[in-house]
């Protein structure tokens, strides 16, 4: 499959700068591209690469200003990142898709599997599980009894859906298990990363709403709820019964205490520890315990000045003592 | 299976307030309960729900004071949370239990498997592994050669027991592997969460004592030891050779340095970093490096005042300079 | 297999102190050793154990000074830790090694598998995957299509290599998936821990260079690169496109922002958050955001003095006010 700069520009509505007949057959990162590859420039951090890239075509933003001419043919578009994503989606749609239930998977007789579903080898689908149309479940996934998975969901290898929530009641000799009688509901268009865990609820359901994207190695505890189109980076942890709103963004390794409510469009920085309810939509939180970014960065900057502040206080005390002596 | 408020109250020793013949057949969370469900109110955060819940029966604490009458039948008990747990255990005991070694599991010929054991599909039990009576091992678990698992242990999907500890000795060209010749011992009544890893020791054993409960995605490094009835929330990490006492509680995403000793009944807050031995039993630790909660919360509160303190110090300097001038 | 102190001392070039005919057949930790075991003393934390150990032989450093005689036979060597590692490697080489592709593994017809490879039960090797000679892949591992694994690599149970990178472009209704068209390259002599995830790149490759050692539950995002002989403890997370140099050491639970470059021989403390490029080789970083250890430990020490500093500032203000009054 080969395309010319002219064809691509027409398809994505861009403007060619250079050789309209430049031809590409693959995608590459700007710093690694070779002849025959199309790449893109979006993050300003990478601007310097455009002068040396061997890519035949580079998608760039309309407003990119060059310091001197470049060898590659450019296609100028309003948003280079969006356009390369569009081209990649187009290309990906032409690739063969895995479908069907692999004979090496285990699917309970009482499970209901939709159309055009892929279930990979060594994936376990428990009793009464429902899987919607077009959902893809990679190898070595475990879905415990009774969980419901929507349409066009992607679950990556090693994920565990519906293991027991972590509930124990202490007695004098040890802990007694609190049975986890609920399930997990994963709605349409969700993506679950590799080795991520979503626990079943004690009663009722743990719910991952439509369009949520969870990266790898995330922990979603029992009775949690994640609102539509919220995205979470790898290794985030949510304690029990916490509810996160829609369209939130959560950085990697962040943690949430149990039994709190996070409003829509909340932005949580990486490694933050969120321990209480947000006050309204659109808050930005960072640090542990999490505060607003302005306060966080001020405090962190003054961290570096603490030794100076400590010395200054002692110095002020000495100067005051001097003054006192003089005034006696 | 249906029960009346009267039957339940008799069973758990409670007092009915409302319709003794109210009938339930399922459990539900107070905010989601519908007719026919029993729920409970224990966490004061949820008190407002009692006025609107559709639950037929609500278990409440003896001392709950209502602002106005409610529709649901109440059962008053000394500890609502304990009572609902008791009812759920009773109910869970009536459910069918998975038992037997699934034909899709791999069990080494030299492994010894006790009575009433469940081993799920795609679970791997290595050579010489011993599994005690009544233990349940969910799908996709890997137990390396030589590990010993006690009685009535639960191991959730994707957990890995007995992988090599992380030991390498540097030389000029790279690292040489230090063979991990020990094993893992998991005693009776332990629960291990999904995708949690317990590494084998370099020599001797990594030991998880009786009644320990580990949540998901936890890392227990080589040569570690965890005392009886200690509980750890998800994503906790222990570095090598660290020993944690009995009856400790560890919050999610906390970490422990290697080669340290944590005494019994230590409480470690979420995301803490514990880097040294505790001084005695019952310490509370939080933050990184972990300190006592009083010091931690004071320091965090003063974080917010750092900019003000910084300004004040400069202001004090100016005032002193003024005074000095006047005294000249 | 039994060895005398004399034989061992000759083999590793050490000097026997005590009974040259003392005989051992197993390794043990100093605090747990029984008769017939060889142990070692390297970490000074454990020195007190030498006076009570039941080990028949203890490897110790040349410069160890004893307060009084001990029962065990000692072998003095320049580096006891290195010597015990050497003995363990020698012993491990005599143990039977797992080899071959287990009939319960899934290996795609288009995969290329080298010589002397072990692939455990329930491990999935996707299309076009290449596995080099001598590589060992434990049970329940998933290697997605197109990934390349070098020679003498070890991949522990539950690891996932080549799952989709976490890339989504927002639109008004939700997020569109950005296809992850690249792959993963893992070079020779790498060790990957249990349940660790290495994502495939968006385009080009995610690369783990020769000799890298990754512990359990680590997240390596799309387009990352890890330089030769870098070691990372458990639960570390790298965000997308970050490049880490050679011979770095990264403590457990540390995190790296995306699109940054870490130079060679960088040392990153446990739980640190590295958010920007390093300035040169050999930097030491700790804390979040990570700074140099001197600044970090000063700031943490002054954390404890914040309440005192806060009170002192108020006190200074009062004293100045007093002085002002006197001067009026």
Neighbours, chain B (3 or more CB pairs < 8 A): A, C
pTM: 0.96
Query: Would you give the end-to-end CA distance of chain C in angstroms?
Result: 93
Give the closest residue to A71 by CA, choosing from A61, A56, A60.
A56
Beta-carbon separation of C140 and A156 below 8 A: no
Q: Is B253 on the interface with C (CB under 8 A)?
A: yes
Instruction: Quote the minimal CA–CA distance from B15 to chain A in Å.
Output: 22
Please give the helix or strand (H or E) that residue C248 lies within, else none.
none
Residues of B carrying an active site annotation:
222
β-pair type (A175-177, A168-170): antiparallel
Burial C131-150 (b: 16+ CB within 10 A, else e): bbebbbbbbbbbbbbbbbbb
- Could you tell me how many residues make up chain A? 328
> What does DSSP assign to residue C202?
S
Chain C residues in contact with A317 by the CB 8 A cut-off are 312, 316
What is the pLDDT confidence band of residue C237, given thresholds at 50, 70 and 90? Answer: very high
Beta-carbon separation of C195 and B160 below 8 A: yes
Contact B60, B22 (CB under 8 A): no
What is the pLDDT confidence band of residue C324, given thresholds at 50, 70 and 90? Answer: confident
Chain C residues in contact with A158 by the CB 8 A cut-off are 140, 142, 158, 160, 195, 197
Instruction: Quote the minimal CA–CA distance from A159 to chain B in Å.
Output: 8
Q: What is the pLDDT of residues A163-180, one digit of tens each?
A: 999 999 998 899 999 999
Q: Which two tokens stand for residue C252?
A: 């457990």
Instruction: Quote the minimal CA–CA distance from A47 to chain C in Å.
Output: 13
**Alpha-carbon distances of B95 from B88, B89, B90, B98, rounded to whole Å:** 11, 10, 10, 10
Q: Is A247 on the interface with B (CB under 8 A)?
A: no
* Most A CBs within 10 Å, among B271, B302, B312, to test the A interface: B271
Beta-carbon separation of B122 and C140 below 8 A: yes
* Residue with the two structure tokens 């990162």: A29
Lowest mean pLDDT among A191-195, A317-321, C159-163, C322-326: C322-326
- Pairs of CB atoms within 8 A across B/C: 175
Residues of A carrying an active site annotation:
222
Q: How far is the C-alpha of A112 from the C-alpha of A131, rounded, in Å? A: 6
Give the CA angle between residues C177, C180, C184 to the nearest 5°: 150
- Pairs of CB atoms within 8 A across A/C: 176
Q: What is the pLDDT of residues A247-286, one digit of tens each?
A: 999 999 999 999 999 999 999 999 999 999 999 999 999 9
CB within 8 Å of chain A, chain C residues 168-197: 168-170, 173-179, 181, 195, 197
CB within 8 Å of chain A, chain B residues 3-32: 27-29, 32
Question: Phi and psi (nearest 5°) for A31?
Answer: -80, -10
Give the CA angle between residues A4, A5, A11 to the nearest 5°: 95
Q: Is A277 on the interface with B (CB under 8 A)?
A: no
Which runs of E-coded beta strand occur in A3-70?
3-4, 15-17, 23-24, 26-27, 37-41, 57-61
**Alpha-carbon distances of B217 from A195, A198, C129, rounded to whole Å:** 9, 11, 28
Q: Is C299 on the interface with A (CB under 8 A)?
A: yes
Chain C residues in contact with B289 by the CB 8 A cut-off are 300
Q: How far is the C-alpha of B198 from the C-alpha of C58, rounded, in Å? A: 28
Q: What is the pLDDT of residue A323?
A: 87
Residues ≥6 apart with Cβ < 8 Å to C67: C51
Chain C residues in contact with A155 by the CB 8 A cut-off are none
- Rounded (10°) CA dihedral C53, C59, C64, C69: 40
Q: For the sheet containing B191-192, what is the strand order?
A: B100-101, B118-119, B136-137, B154-155, B191-192, B213-214, B231-232, B249-250, B267-268, B284-285
CB within 8 Å of chain B, chain C residues 105-164: 120-122, 138-140, 154, 156-158
Give the closest residue to C327 by CA, choosing from B316, A319, B317, B327.
B327
Give the closest residue to A153 by CA, choosing from A163, A145, A161.
A161
Q: In terms of pLDDT, which residue wins out, C322 or B56?
A: B56
**Alpha-carbon distances of A308 from A3, B186, B313, rounded to whole Å:** 62, 51, 11
What is the pLDDT of chain B when averaged over all its residues?
95
Chain C residues in contact with A304 by the CB 8 A cut-off are 291, 295, 299
Closest residue of chain A to C139, computed from CA coordinates: A140
Q: What is the pLDDT of residue B306?
A: 92
Neighbours of C182 (CB within 10 A): 23
What is the pLDDT averaged over residues C47-71?
A: 95
Chain A residues in contact with C299 by the CB 8 A cut-off are 303-304, 306-307
Q: What is the pLDDT of residues B252-265, one digit of tens each?
A: 999 999 999 999 99
Whether B1 has a pLDDT exceeding 90, the answer reads no
User: Long-range contacts: C123-129, Cβ < 8 Å, 24+?
Assistant: C124/A120, C124/A121, C124/A122, C124/A139, C124/A140, C124/A157, C126/C162
Residues ≥6 apart with Cβ < 8 Å to A280: A263
Task: Show the DSSP H helices in chain C as ranges.
Answer: 5-12, 80-93, 293-303, 306-327
Instruction: Quote the minimal CA–CA distance from A160 to chain B in Å.
Output: 7
Residues of chain A scoring pLDDT < 70: none
Q: How far is the C-alpha of C288 from the C-alpha of C255, rounded, in Å? A: 9
What is the pLDDT averaged over residues C229-234?
A: 98
What is the pLDDT confidence band of residue C107, given thresholds at 50, 70 and 90? Answer: very high
DSSP states along A169-191? EE-SSSEEE-----EEEE-TT-E
Residues ≥6 apart with Cβ < 8 Å to C201: A29, C165, C180, C182, C183, C184, C222, C223
Closest Cβ–Cβ partner in B81, B217, B229 for A219: B217
Q: How far is the C-alpha of A42 from the C-alpha of A47, rounded, in Å? A: 8
Whether B328 has a pLDDT exceeding 90, the answer reads no
Chain A residues in contact with B27 by the CB 8 A cut-off are 181, 203
Q: What is the pLDDT of residue B71?
A: 95
Q: How far is the C-alpha of A197 from the C-alpha of A143, rounded, in Å? A: 10
What residues are paired with A243 via a beta bridge?
A225, A261
Instruction: Quote the minimal CA–CA distance from A266 to chain C in Å.
Output: 16
Q: What is the pLDDT of residues C248-262, one digit of tens each?
A: 999 999 999 999 999
Q: What is the pLDDT of residue B207?
A: 98
What is the pLDDT confidence band of residue B325, given thresholds at 50, 70 and 90? Answer: confident
Whether C328 has a pLDDT exceeding 90, the answer reads no
What is the pLDDT of chain C when averaged over all its residues?
95
Chain B residues in contact with A122 by the CB 8 A cut-off are 121-122, 140
Q: How far is the C-alpha of B304 from the C-alpha of A299, rounded, in Å? A: 7
Q: What is the pLDDT of residues B136-178, one digit of tens each?
A: 999 999 999 999 999 999 999 999 999 999 999 998 899 999 9
Contact A242, A218 (CB under 8 A): no
Residues of C carrying an active site annotation:
222
Closest Cβ–Cβ partner in A88, A216, A323 for C181: A88
The CA radius of gyration of chain A, in Å to the nearest whole number, is 27
Instruction: Quote the minimal CA–CA distance from A143 to chain C in Å.
Output: 15
What is the pLDDT confidence band of residue B304, given thresholds at 50, 70 and 90? Answer: confident
**Alpha-carbon distances of C233 from A193, A253, C248, C271, C288, rounded to whole Å:** 21, 15, 11, 10, 17
Lowest mean pLDDT among A248-257, B86-95, B210-219, C175-184: B86-95
Q: What is the pLDDT of residue B228?
A: 98
What is the pLDDT confidence band of residue B24, given thresholds at 50, 70 and 90? Answer: very high
What is the pLDDT confidence band of residue B108, given thresholds at 50, 70 and 90? Answer: very high
Query: Would you give the end-to-end CA distance of chain A in angstroms?
Result: 93
Q: Is A273 on the interface with B (CB under 8 A)?
A: yes
Q: Which two tokens stand for residue C109?
A: 């017809």
Beta-carbon separation of C252 and B253 below 8 A: no
User: Per the omega criterion (within 30 degrees of 0), is the bond before B289 cis?
Assistant: yes
Closest residue of chain C to A227, computed from CA coordinates: C174
Q: In terms of pLDDT, which residue wins out, C230 or A32?
A: C230
Neighbours of A86 (CB within 10 A): 18
């Amino acid at each position: 499959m080969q395309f010319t700069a002219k064809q691509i520009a027409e398809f994505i509505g861009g403007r060619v700068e250079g050789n309209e007949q430049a031809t590409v057959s693959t995608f590459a990162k700007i710093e690694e591209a070779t002849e025959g590859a199309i790449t893109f420039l979006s993050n300003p951090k990478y601007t310097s690469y455009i002068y040396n890239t061997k890519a035949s075509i580079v998608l760039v933003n309309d407003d990119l200003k060059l310091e001197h001419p470049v060898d590659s043919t450019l296609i100028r578009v309003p948003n280079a990142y969006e356009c390369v994503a569009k081209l990649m989606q187009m290309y990906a749609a032409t690739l063969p898709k895995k479908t069907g239930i692999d004979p090496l998977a285990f699917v309970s007789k009482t499970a209901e599997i939709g159309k055009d579903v892929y279930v990979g080898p060594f994936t376990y689908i428990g009793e009464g599980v429902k899987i919607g149309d077009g959902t893809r479940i990679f190898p070595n996934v475990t879905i415990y009894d009774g969980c419901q998975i929507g349409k066009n969901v992607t679950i990556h290898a090693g994920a565990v859906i519906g293991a027991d929530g972590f509930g124990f009641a202490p007695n004098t000799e040890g802990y007694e298990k609190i049975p986890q009688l609920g399930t997990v509901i994963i709605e349409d268009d969700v993506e679950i990363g590799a080795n991520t865990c979503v626990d079943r609820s004690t009663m009722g359901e743990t719910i991952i709403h439509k369009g949520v994207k969870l990266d790898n190695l995330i922990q979603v505890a029992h009775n949690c709820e994640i609102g539509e189109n919220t995205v979470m980076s790898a290794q985030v942890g949510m304690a029990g019964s916490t509810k996160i709103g829609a369209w939130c963004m959560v950085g990697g390794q962040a943690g949430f205490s149990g039994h709190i409510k996070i409003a829509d469009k909340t932005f949580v920085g990486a490694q933050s520890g969120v321990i209480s309810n947000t006050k309204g939509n659109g808050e930005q939180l960072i640090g542990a315990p999490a505060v607003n970014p302005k306060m966080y960065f001020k405090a962190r900057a003054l961290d570096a000045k603490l030794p100076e502040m400590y010395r200054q206080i002692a110095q002020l005390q000495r100067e005051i003592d001097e003054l006192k002596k003089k005034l006696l």
